[in-house]
Amino acid sequence: MSSGFDYVIKGGTIVDGLGGSPKSGDVAVAGGLIAEVGGSIDAGGAEVIDADGAIVTPGWIDLHTHYDGQVSWDDAMEPSSANGVTTIVMGNCGVGFAPVRPGQEQALIELMEGVEDIPGTALYEGMPWGNWETFGEYLNYLDSREYTLDIGAQIPHGAVRFYVMGERGRLNEDATADDLAAMSDVVAQGLSDGALGFSTSRIRAHRALWGEPVPGTFAADEELFAIADAMKSVDRGVFQIIPGEALGTLESMEPDIGSQIEEHARMVEVSKRSGRPVTFTLIPTSETDTKLPQDLWRTILERTAAANADGAQLFPQVSARPIGFLTGLSGYHAFIRRPSYMAIAHLPLAERAREMAKAEVRAAILAETDVPVDEPGSMKNVFGVFQRAAPALYPLANPVDYEPEMDSMFAMAAAAAGQDPLEYSYDFLIGEGGSRFAALMAVDVHSRMEILGEMLRHPDTVTGLSDAGAHVTLICDGSMPTSQLSHWTRDRHRGDQLPLEFLVAKQTSANARLHGLTDRGSLEVGKRADVNVIDHENLSVGPPEPHHDLPAGGTRLMQPVTGYVATMVKGTMTRRFDADTGNRPGGVVRSG
């Protein structure tokens, strides 16, 4: 006898995404929707997924990704699809590829390459420029393709400014009244065509390949408010922003665009004028930052709560682990601009490590002066950070511990070995055939995690900032949806854990509500069957591994993940036992 179900997930622990206590039972799927939840369900002729010992959750919704280029050449959408993500939102930080006039493509590529560290060669080679000009046409092009997951996109301020103002917009000149009217029209039309929001960046560290700040970095209040009014006119979209000084300040970077308190007041005004949600990056102040108070993040949360009580809709976006810069021979490291290293950089990884181990090569590289990078906005310039911060690096073990003890820092290990930390870093990197990685996360990771825990618990915050698809050889946080589950609900031993049901709701229904995605984010009858079946006890994230699969042979780092028994998108199995099934049920998700 047929039950009419396509799948019945049997005997799992249901964590429904609504914050309620987990419960044992079955989940039935039919026609791409959740058909029944709880109790014992007769499978009939449906395919049965054995979830005994596993948890059953909604699919994760990742609010902060940068797949804007990758979506045009890839359909697997890794690493997100391998981490249980069933809906992504891209077009963050004011960078993206639509709207675009013919001839503007190179500038948008150089902007993305500088800000998000996606190789320009991949963007030139992999993107079919000419298939779109307006944002609506870009969405239509994406809609002609199929993916493992659903894709939502935001309109990037940088592209809008360049599209409307040309070079004046790219170089951050002030907008005229006519410019503001034209930008408002572009944003309103893009939202009407299905964009999930509008994004902008106001941090001076975000720069194009040749050093120019992101268009819109210094936008006057009148420009931000004009965009807010455009959003109000169509009553759609989320305003996503990285506020000025969100990542701290550098004394040499001018002009000053105001403190975070002033930026917060702007965001309150944007939300009230637009009547729409505003989500903004909020991170703990760096221990080494002497200009911003160490508890500024708490002040921002208090002001957010007060503003929301007064009619605003502000949602600070926080990470579940410190955002770490990775260093390894397959990516960036302290020695990439030393002449003797540059002479062997083309060699295969293991051979390069063997060459670097030779006494004469080692001595030369350690003694040499760095060759300056031609492009001031290139992420290659991070070599200086790894030189200065060598004492604060943490080795990445398998599985990765995102809250390691301070005695594992290179400073401690180098002292024990009688070495300078930079010299110790060199010897670490060439070990195990050059496959090792270390990360710059925070000086005291435990203190940072304590702050992040408090931020996650705040009722107004949302979880995001994975940056999946970006910083392909520097940051590997596309695994954050997985590691935040394993660390905060199972592995954390240096502080309080978070309830499983709380953290599942935080990255499912809470994120769905922010973007008005009312058809997903929870295991309820009639909702989309975006589902994860997870072996919670054995969920694991390993150290990064290089993959040479970008267009034009580019390299990206991805972390191997295990523990996903099954992932469904719209009732279709996209992953089974941590492997891609080849099914592509995903498409574009539009506002409204």
Can you read off the two tokens belonging to residue 342? 């540059």
DSSP 488: I
**Nearest of 430, 546, 515, 534 to residue 15 by alpha carbon:** 534
- The domains of the chain are located at 7-59+535-539+547-580, 65-322+445-515, 326-440
Phi, psi (degrees; rounded to nearest 5) at 47: -75, 130
Contact indicator for 51, 9 with CB cutoff of 8 Å:
yes
Q: Max CA-CA distance within the chain?
A: 77
3-state secondary structure of 239: strand
Quickly list DSSP for 273-294.
Answer: HHTS-EEEE--PPPTT-SSS-T
What pLDDT does 443 receive? 85
- On whether the 65-322+445-515 domain is CATH 3.20.20.140, my answer is yes
Q: What are the Cα distances from residue 481, in Å, to 120, 330, 379, 438, 487?
A: 27, 24, 25, 21, 10
What pLDDT does 369 receive? 98
Q: What are the Cα distances from residue 325, in Å, to 312, 333, 342?
A: 34, 10, 21
**pLDDT tens profile 70-105:** 999 999 999 999 999 999 999 999 999 999 999 999
Position 504, amino acid:
V
What pLDDT does 292 receive? 59
Position 31, amino acid:
G
Orientation angle between helical segments 260-274 and 296-309, nearest 10 degrees: 20
Residues in the chain with pLDDT < 70? 1-2, 246-258, 286-293
Q: Give the separation between CA 414 and CA 412, rounded to whole angstroms.
A: 5
Contact indicator for 524, 37 with CB cutoff of 8 Å:
yes
Can you read off the two tokens belonging to residue 539? 């969920």
Q: Give the separation between CA 133 and CA 136, rounded to whole angstroms.
A: 8
First to last CA, the chain: 40
Report the top-level CATH class of 7-59+535-539+547-580.
mainly beta
Can you read off the two tokens belonging to residue 281? 């990056």
Sign of CA dihedral 484, 586, 198, 16: negative
